[in-house]
Amino acid sequence: MLLFLTVYAKIFGTLISQKLGLISGCPEGLNTKQAPGRLPGLTATKWLSYGRITIYSQWDECFGYNLLFEITAMFSNRFDWQAQPNALSTLLAQKKAAGQSVIDLTQSNPTRVGLAYDHEAILAALSQAAALVYEPDARGWPGARRAIAEYYQEKGCAIDPEKLFLTASTSEAYGLLFKLLADGGDEVLIPSPGYPLLAYLARFEGLQAVAYPLRYDPEQGWQIDLDLLEALIAPKTRAILVVSPNNPTGSYVKPKELSILDELCRRHDLALVVDEVFADFAADPSASNRLGSVLGRTQCLTFVLNGFSKVLALPQIKLGWIAMAGQARLTLEAGHRLESLLDFYLPVSAPVQYAVAPLLGLRPAIQSQIIQRLQDNEQILRAQVAGLSNSRLLRREGGWYAIIEVADHLGDEERVIQLLAQANTLVHPGFFYDFHRDGFLVLSLLPEPSTFQTGVLNILQAFGKQSA
């Protein structure tokens, strides 16, 4: 609902318009200057927000300045962002509507890239008769938690199944942890560059996400700027979020970084939340500075997130989990509270819980395919970029994505729109992941190699410059 209040009378508005060098007065019929804005023919600028009231200032050549009051009567301010289609999504929709084929190098849905799944085994795991009996357990069915504990045992990490909590997804796990750790208006620290979902998940819980930077070094790769991260810790900070390996940079948290983060969390009474959904997909599994998991390596209250979306490349089988670690006193109290939260939701279906053990048995077969696909496509990309003077492939330690840095005069949005318009090839611009400047393209390494190679050639033909 919009309410209008005229602030200046016509005569006062005329004086203001003369000072601004604008045409004063108004032709017969009260025609106003045509410009996009909150009202037809008028331009409005956001001036002040308070609660559910937003005030806009608006210039009318006939009447001077108006104040526009927008009152949101029904919905929370969690949804207060611009959700209109952007230029890239609009162009993509137009091409699809016209029936044009697009080479999608943003494709990260593993079920759409030609991987071979054992369909019979998956369906059999989900069809167990025991799932027909309802036996709710807030932490999750014990048999499922024992199977996940064995998964960690294979990775060299011991965890008590009583410190595992099943959720429908890692996104839900974030929401539960934000409820557990923080109140409205509190803050959590998130990595930048990073996946934009984290800031939205924090906002949905009434929290403020504060970004700490990752820095890139050609020799060392991506590293956390620990000095700036520490400077960002404020009285309202409640947790530090780490993604290892990070999306999209592919950088694992290093042992030294983890030690410092652990100390910072203990000193400031913060929780450490580590998202390890891509942890099984290391570019070099033998790297000495890579932590396959942080479990058992911290004293602060630590929550490790993972799930079937990446571990088994089965995002449609909705299962995530929270693994809890840290000092016994903290984990005991946190465990009771988290169990109470989950008791209100009971989010995971019985068929999925009973399927956990047999599905985890399929992990080697599906992960070996993905790892081979990642290696093949990265090799294609490295070979193509090697001969260019204005582009380089940034170092990837793990995960499903690659980053090309391009040095030219184009902005990221202009670059990706031009690529889609002229070569029917879709990539993500760096700003989608909150890179600090233009010049970065993010590519998924999951597409089939023939598709990937064609898309990469389109990118480099459009923007690459051959070395002399």
Q: What is the mean pLDDT of each run of 10 residues along the chain (468 residues)?
A: 37 34 36 36 58 66 60 70 80 95 97 98 97 96 98 95 98 98 97 96 96 95 97 98 98 97 98 98 86 94 98 97 96 98 97 98 98 98 92 96 94 95 97 95 98 96 82
pLDDT score recorded for residue 285: 84
Task: Break the chain into its structural domains and give their ranges.
Answer: 2-74, 87-113+365-463, 119-362
Question: What is the token pair recorded at 300?
Answer: 């602060």
- pTM for the structure as a whole: 0.85
Q: Is residue 199 classed as helix, strand or coil in its secondary structure?
A: helix
Residue pair 229/215 in contact by the 8 Å Cβ criterion: no
CATH number (3.40.640.10, 3.40.50.300, 3.40.50.2300, 3.90.870.10) of 119-362 reads 3.40.640.10
What is the residue-averaged pLDDT of the chain? 88
pLDDT score recorded for residue 448: 97
pLDDT score recorded for residue 416: 96
Specify the pairing of strand 2-6 against strand 43-50: unpaired
Burial of 148-186, coded b for 16+ CB within 10 Å and e otherwise, reads bbebbeeeebebebebbbbbbbbbbbbbbbbebbbeeeb
In DSSP notation, 107-126 reads: ---GGGTT----HHHHHHHT
pLDDT score recorded for residue 42: 46
Residue pair 396/439 in contact by the 8 Å Cβ criterion: no
CATH number (1.10.150.120, 3.40.50.300, 3.90.1150.10, 3.10.20.740) of 87-113+365-463 reads 3.90.1150.10
